[in-house]
Amino acid sequence: MRSIVFWTAVAAIFVIGVVSTKIFENEFFFFAGYAILQATIMAVAWNILGGFTGYVNFGSAGFFALGAYTSIALSNALDPPMIVPLLLAALLGGLVGLGTGYLTLRLRGVYFAIATLAMAIVFETFVNNWAFVGGATGAYILTPETVPFFDSYIEFLFALILFLALMAIAIARYLKISRIGQGLAAIRDDEIAAEGAGVPTLRLKLVSTTTMGALMAIAGVPYPFFVTYVDPLSAFNLTIAVNAIAMPMIGGTGTWFGPVVGALLLGSIQEIATVTISSEANVLIVGVLLVTFIMVAPQGIVGLIQDRWRKRRAHG
């Protein structure tokens, strides 16, 4: 029953999003919506490894850039339909996540975090010296002037990123409520005890890193068409990695829904600040909100609500 309700809600949200492209004429709505939904995918992806499994990943920007530069490379070579770079980026991101996990998951805590950051730095160095995708000077992407059904390309990108965000949320929800999620929770709580209880810890951690890598890469595929110019500084921007960590922590890392709440809240605040103040204020906003929630609600918004609900039921 819950699955039926969930998928009905997913279908309804997607339909409403597509219909909104025929209602709203101000394209800022779609630009802001795209940015928030892109952040949602990355927050959900980060949470699969960092929240469900307990392994903090600082290499989010590397996987995101992998998807972006996969899109650029294919656009320069073949200019295929969007489905092609999406599938290829998911495959490459999953394989890189699998390989990175196999090499680094024996590490814990700060050592694992540093290893994932090093992976992103290595990939950035490679891209800086790859002339086919623009190297250090960057690359321009030409977007089609027309696209079927939609009045502008940004409307198409908005509908696409909405679909991808909903699918990422569905994958995270499945992992959380399945036996895989139970095993990941056991690893997060006490990995040694989980191994002693017969939980296939390495296998489950590799599932987590592979899924995370694939979703992170998918989030980066439409990005070059959104900004039309990409260079290593923008694709590997530290703000991308910081947001991917901050949004789940603000929303709540212990649930599949927490990162969505955090991304919608923080992403909306950042978009408003970009218009009213400056985009430079976004880093300050992330820092203030992150410190505040760590002090007041370390389990995030969803965790805080759940704790209060349990206390009310206990006293009721």
Report which residue type is found at 130. Answer: W
The pTM assigned to this predicted structure is 0.93
Q: Output the CA–CA distances (angstroms, integers) from residue 245 to 49, 163, 205, 254, in the order listed.
A: 11, 22, 18, 13
For the chain, residues with pLDDT lower than 50 are: none
SS3 229: strand
Torsion of CA 198, 199, 201, 206, to 10 degrees: 130
The CA dihedral of 293, 299, 301, 303, to the nearest 10 degrees, is -160
Report the SS3 class of residue 147: strand
Q: Is 116 in contact with 58 (CB distance < 8 Å)?
A: yes
In the chain, where are the structural domains located?
2-237
pLDDT at 109: 66
Rg of the chain over all Cα atoms, to the nearest angstrom? 19
Residue 273, pLDDT score: 80
pLDDT for residue 166: 96
Other beta carbons within 10 Å of 129:
9
pLDDT at residue 79 in the model: 82
pLDDT digit string (tens) for 75-98? 998 888 999 999 999 999 999 999
Q: How far apart are CA 242 and CA 109, in angstroms?
A: 17
State residue 148's pLDDT score: 85
β partners of residue 150: 147
- At 244-299, the pLDDT tens digits run 888 898 888 878 889 999 999 888 888 888 777 766 677 777 777 777 877 777 78
Residue type, 51: G
